[in-house]
Amino acid sequence: MPMKKKAKATASKTASKAAKRRKGAVVRKPAPKRAPSKPPAARKPPAVPDDAKAAIRRLRAELAQAKARIGQLEASADTDFLLGILNRRGFERELDRSVAYIKRYHASGAIIVLDVDRLKPINDAFGHAAGDEVLKAVVAVLLRHVRASDVIGRLGGDEFALLLWNLSETDARAKAASLEHTIDALSFVFRGRTVSAGASAGIAILGPHAEAGRALEQADSAMYVRKAQRRHET
């Protein structure tokens, strides 16, 4: 009996302590929800002074002028100054582009290399100004007989090249013969003397397997063969 009383007393004390702890416990309330913070206002860039604006406009204008000048220099590097057509460098650049296009899209074209006959005797007899007049007349003929999409270039001296699109070999040969005939018909009067020049033309066909340099060499070789034939014809 004494042991039971002691156990009850111990249990009573334990329950009393637990009740006191619960009574003294602090009840925490949930933290209030905060409103979402606003992003900081964007700062305005500092105002550019008027003198700085003027300097920027001036620099932009100078840059535009420099770019235009670069374009002019690049164009002049590819242009024959006397005749206003492409020089050898410019023609070869256009030929490379055209051959790449022909290979990619299976197009076709032809090169005609044309050499002006009897130009050296004219230069020797009447001076280079007379020879220049002959060259200008030849270029005028070439320009009248090609399309806007075709390309004309001066390879050097009295030699010219034409890049003609979408021509068969038969058409290219006919075009070369027509150019020869038209240039042969030109006549010039220097110091009271009437003289004529002439032209010899060779062709090469451009197809899907063409190489720019090789095609130009083929047309050039064909031109020399034609020049030899014309000497025997006369």
Q: Each residue of 154-180: pLDDT tens digit?
A: 999 999 999 999 999 999 999 999 999
224 assigned to some structural domain = yes
46 assigned to some structural domain = no
23 assigned to some structural domain = no
Domain of 134, CATH number, reads 3.30.70.270
Does the pLDDT at position 40 exceed 80? no
Residue type present at position 180? E
Q: Has 158 been annotated as catalytic? A: yes
131 assigned to some structural domain = yes
Residues for the chain: how many in total? 234
- Active-site option among 158, 171, 184, 220: 158
- Residue 214, Cβ density class (10 Å: 0-12 exposed, 13-18 middle, ≥19 buried): exposed
Residue 52 has a pLDDT of 75
40 assigned to some structural domain = no
Number of domains in the chain: 1
111 assigned to some structural domain = yes
218 assigned to some structural domain = yes
Q: Do residues 82 and 135 make contact, with C-beta atoms less than 8 angstroms apart?
A: yes
Question: Would you give the distance in Å from CA 80 to the centre of its chain?
Answer: 20
Does the pLDDT at position 8 exceed 60? no
Question: pLDDT tens digits for 91-121?
Answer: 999 999 999 999 999 999 999 999 999 999 9
Band (pLDDT 50/70/90 cuts) for residue 1 is: very low
| Structure token pair of residue 113 | 């290399």
194 assigned to some structural domain = yes
- Structural domain including 204 reads 79-233
DSSP H helix total and E strand total for the chain: 7, 6
* Residue 206: closest CA among 130, 146, 125, 150: 150
Residues 179, 145: Cα–Cα separation, whole Å? 8
